[in-house]
Amino acid sequence: MRHSPIYVPSPMRQQLKSSIRLFRKGEFLTRFLVWLMPRFRGRPVNRYILLPGLFMMVGTGSVQAASGPFFSLGNTDFVVSISFIIFIAAIIYFKAPKFVAKLIDGQIAKIEGQLKEASSVKEDAQTLLENLQKKQEEAEEHAIRIKEQAQKDKELAIEEAQNSIQGLVDRKLQNSREQVRASEAKAIANIKNQAIDLAIDAASEVIFRSMGGDDR
């Protein structure tokens, strides 16, 4: 049964090439341990992960050894190659890609949660803004209604004042007319009384004269 080849992205190929160069320079072990120790701090270290490190130590220690056949522990290239293969196999066996994918999924979920939270905050802010705008519109409408009512009250007060003044003037005129009519009636009555008095006096004088004339 044939297995499909594993696709290795270009950045990973570059990393593998860099790792192989570090193997040959004897610097990979140090960097690998520096990378590994913080991740297993306080955790039990699996022996299958330490095996590649041991092979690397053997390979690094034999860098200066005399070269021999390729398939020999005395051959540095062979030891480094075997160590690298075991290391890659250990990574695949312990499902490191899945672990990395799980970490990435966790980060994605965290980012999605932050985005949802930001979206919720944005919605709350939008709702608050709409409420403020609605209250502002209501306040403006209330101010307009107050202004209109004040204008109506002003016009009504002016109209009432005008009506009151007009009524007062009308009453004054009516009183004046009544007083004039009363004065006229009184004057006419006085004139009539005076005329009657004069007529009586004249009649009395005539009678007196007529009576006096007879006596003579």
| In a domain? residue 176 | no
| In a domain? residue 101 | no
Paired tokens of 44: 């039990």
Report the share of the chain in percent with pLDDT over 70: 58
Alpha carbons 90 and 97: distance in angstroms, whole number: 11
The pTM is what? 0.33
The whole-number pLDDT of residue 131 equals 92
| In a domain? residue 210 | no
Question: pLDDT averaged over the chain?
Answer: 72
| In a domain? residue 64 | yes
Using alpha carbons, list the distances in angstroms from residue 81 to 3, 55, 56, 78, 87: 22, 10, 9, 5, 10
Range of the domain at 58: 10-94
Range scoring the smallest mean pLDDT among 27-31, 64-68, 111-115, 155-159: 64-68
Highest-confidence segment of 40-49, 52-61, 71-80: 71-80
Q: What is the DSSP letter of 69?
A: -
| In a domain? residue 191 | no
Query: CA torsion, points 44, 49, 52, 58, in degrees to nearest 10?
Result: 10
Q: Write down the number of H helices and E strands in the chain.
A: 5, 0
* Burial of 20: CB neighbours in 10 Å, binned 0-12, 13-18, 19+: middle
Q: Which long-range contacts (CB under 8 A, 24 or more apart) does 154-158 make?
A: none
Q: State pLDDT tens for residues 74-130.
A: 667 677 777 777 777 776 666 666 776 777 788 888 888 888 888 888 899 999 999
- Output 18 or 155, whichever has higher pLDDT: 155
Q: State pLDDT tens for residues 160-179.
A: 888 888 888 888 888 888 88
The whole-number pLDDT of residue 129 equals 92
| In a domain? residue 75 | yes
Residue 16: pLDDT above 80? no
The whole-number pLDDT of residue 73 equals 61
| In a domain? residue 208 | no
Alpha carbons 180 and 178: distance in angstroms, whole number: 5
| In a domain? residue 202 | no
Residue 17: pLDDT above 90? no
Identify the three-state secondary structure at position 49. Answer: helix
Residue 146: pLDDT above 90? yes
What's the number of domains the chain is made of? 1
Q: What is the CA radius of gyration of the chain?
A: 63
